[in-house]
Amino acid sequence: MDNATDEPARAGYRRSAGSPRGEARRRELLAKITDDVAENGLVDFSLRRAARAAGTTHKVLLYHFEGAEDLLRQVVFALRERRIGNALAAVSAEAPTLAGRVRAAWAGVRDEDTQLRRVLDQAMGLAMYDPGRYAALGRGASQQYLPTLVSFCPEHWPERRKLEVAEMILAALRGFLVDLLTSPDGEGAAAGFAALLRAVEREETAP
């Protein structure tokens, strides 16, 4: 694998760029590989495994992607988009407050497929285990999640305040997701989330 970079998720897609047919093929391949990773995790991920999942060859994948790490970044990006979709689907007009939106979003993420949680935590583990190669997997998470959390904040707040509160919520929810995977009953996550909601409510009522 080549070293990971901080390029956007589609940076590896060059030789077929500008071709609608090539773009459609790239999306088709990525969807099949993403489904495979969602089901089987990141352990032993490789171009050859990805090619088997997509029903093609690794040479075809190299036409559409720069390499295994570029493909992995795009797969993880797609899986995070699924998580964001789960959260947004749970948030409705009936959650007009920041605390209400956070509560609804957490319910959507908490109840998502356990394997999806496991795979996304594996991606963060790779970023911590080998930051030289997988740093983009860690930084990419914040870049994807924060805009949604910022959008939950009251419109009249200054942008800095929105970002600070969004960062707090994101850090806490990440910890709760890990707790759900590692504890037998999830009571720690439930207790921590209750405390987070109180903090959010205080923040929301502060001048």
Whether the CB-CB separation of 73 and 141 falls below 8 Å is answered with: no
Tokens of 121: 């935590």
Q: Quick one: pLDDT band at residue 9, thresholds 50, 70, 90?
A: very low
Which residues lie below 8 Å from residue 162, measured CB to CB, with a gap of 6+?
A: 150, 153
Q: Please compute Rg for the chain using Cα positions.
A: 19
Q: Quick one: pLDDT band at residue 176, thresholds 50, 70, 90?
A: very high
Tokens of 72: 């992995």
Q: How far is 80 from 34, CA to CA, in rounded Å?
A: 11
Please give the mean pLDDT across all residues of the chain: 86
Helix axes 68-90, 114-129, angle to 10 degrees: 130
Using CA atoms, how far residue 111 sits from 105, 107, 191, in Å, is: 10, 6, 17
Q: Quick one: pLDDT band at residue 8, thresholds 50, 70, 90?
A: very low
Using CA atoms, how far residue 125 sits from 44, 76, 103, 117, 130, in Å, is: 14, 13, 26, 12, 8
Q: What is the pLDDT of residues 24-76, one digit of tens each?
A: 989 999 999 999 999 998 888 999 999 999 999 989 999 898 888 889 999 99
pLDDT exceeds 50 at position 10: no
Whether the CB-CB separation of 121 and 177 falls below 8 Å is answered with: yes
What pTM, to 2 d.p., does this model score?
0.79
